[in-house]
């Protein structure tokens, strides 16, 4: 059943708002997926705080124009467009869709938006290879903590050596 004009206007408004507020956006073809696979994708997106919206190319184009992303032209893309928008993490939509596309060959990534500029599908795949924000923060904390833990180990080594020397002196006198 076709959507009414009011439903289309609502979809465009919602999608445009998501595109403006989103930190990272990925456009992909979802046609050919089973309902169970699409629900699995939606479940993964919800778990990571990513909203995914399916819409026709004309509605996506209108939403992009409304959001100030006029250089995006979905006319050359094949099939319906799934728009995954990450509002808290730039990399999450790219990671989710790239991982999902590995197991479902129907999913084709067309491109995305990063810092309000269009990026190609290859750039999205490179972005998906980056570590997550939590992993990067963990690496940063480990790097910042390394000099302190090294210093503590050096001080502890001196104390161990002092105790060892005192034990050797005690044994020598006994």
CA separation for the pair 103, 86 (Å, rounded): 21
pLDDT band at residue 39 under the 50/70/90 scheme:
very high
Q: Tell me the pLDDT band of 163, cut-offs 50, 70 and 90.
A: confident
102-108: long-range pairs with CB below 8 Å, 24+: 104/33, 104/37, 106/29, 106/30, 106/31, 106/32, 106/33, 107/28, 107/29, 107/30, 107/33, 108/28, 108/29, 108/78, 108/79
Residues 152 and 137 in one domain: yes
Domain count, the chain: 2
pLDDT at position 1: 58
130-162 residue pLDDT tens:
887 788 889 999 899 888 888 888 888 877 888
Residue range(s) defining the domain that contains residue 47: 5-130
Q: Summarize the confidence of residues 109-125 as an average pLDDT.
A: 88
Instruction: For residue 75, give the CATH number of its domain.
Output: 3.30.70.1730
What mean pLDDT value characterizes the chain? 85
Which of 60-69, 115-124, 153-162 is predicted with the least confidence, judged by mean pLDDT? 153-162
**HSE-CB for 4 with a 13 A CA cutoff:** 3
Q: DSSP letter at 68?
A: T
Is pLDDT at 74 greater than 80 in this prediction? no
Same domain, 104 and 148: no
The confidence band for 43, taking pLDDT boundaries of 50, 70 and 90, is very high
Strand partners, 26: 84, 112
């Amino acid at each position: 059943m076709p959507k009414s004009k009011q439903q289309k206007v609502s979809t465009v408004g919602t999608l445009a708002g998501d595109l403006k507020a989103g930190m990272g956006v990925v456009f992909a073809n979802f046609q050919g997926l089973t309902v169970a696979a699409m629900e699995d994708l939606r479940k993964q997106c919800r778990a990571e705080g990513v909203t995914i919206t399916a819409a026709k190319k004309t509605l996506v184009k209108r939403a992009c124009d409304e959001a100030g992303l006029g250089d995006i032209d979905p006319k050359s893309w094949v099939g319906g467009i799934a728009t995954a928008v990450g509002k808290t993490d730039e990399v999450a939509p790219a990671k989710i869709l790239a991982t999902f596309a590995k197991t479902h060959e129907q999913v084709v990534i067309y491109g995305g938006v990063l810092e309000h500029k269009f990026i190609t599908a290859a750039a999205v795949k490179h972005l998906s290879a980056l570590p997550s924000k939590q992993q990067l923060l963990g690496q940063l904390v480990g790097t910042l903590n390394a000099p302190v833990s090294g210093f503590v180990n050096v001080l502890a080594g001196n104390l161990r050596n002092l105790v060892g020397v005192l034990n050797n002196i005690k044994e020598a006198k006994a």
